Amino acid sequence: MSVEIIDFDVEPGEIDGLFVVTIKQISDERGKILELFRRSAFESAGVTALGPLSQINVTESYRGAIRGMHGEQMTKLLTVAAGEAFGAYVDTRAGSSTYGMVETVRLRPGVQVLVPRGVANGFQTVTDTSHYVYCFDEEWRPGMPGVSVNPLDPALDIPWPIEVAADDLQSLSAKDRSAPMLADVEGAP
């Protein structure tokens, strides 16, 4: 039996406080084990921004669907458990040195993104379906502090891999479609 091991690795993103993580993976003829979260691995890499996890959600989405851009006041650890997604992140923190910066990451099982508080995240499913996993350090609640930004804001110029019409509710919710443009977000410079 041959065993392949991919070690845990953390790379800082371009947005201040955002990290792209390759999780430890062990493969053999039977399949693969993905180490979704090990606090000591993050701490050894110097990433201590993620507090104790308070909530974990899995979202099933279909090809072409966009969810987000949401920037709640919570730190998030994001990945896909199945399928692939195109992740997009925009710094909505007023006063941040990377305010307005957009970063994108191709998400597949084994790749995670640690998103700091106030950085909006969204994704588009690029396979038939994806199972997108959100780990939060705070429980989500209606009306919690944060911002939403329209994922089709031309100023963001997010290169969504699958074209989406703004009025297509199967690909973009009414809530996300009516979210403000970044320039209209309260606190924007």
| 131 part of the active site | no
Q: Tell which residue, 93, 121, 94, has the closest CA to residue 19.
A: 121
Written as six digits, the tokens of 109 are 């099982």
How many Å apart are CA 28 and CA 39, to the nearest integer?
25
State CA 169 to chain mean position distance.
21
Q: Is 134 a catalytic residue?
A: yes
What CA–CA distance (Å, rounded) separates 94 from 149?
Answer: 14
Cα 174 to the center of its chain, rounded Å: 20
Catalytic residue among 89, 99, 132, 134: 134
Among residues 37, 36, 23, 29, the alpha carbon closest in space to that of 4 is found at: 29
Active-site hit among 70, 89, 99, 132: 70
Rounded to the nearest 5°, which phi and psi values hold at 174?
A: -60, -40
Q: Name the one residue in this structure whose structure tokens are 């499913």.
A: 125
Catalytic residues: 70, 134
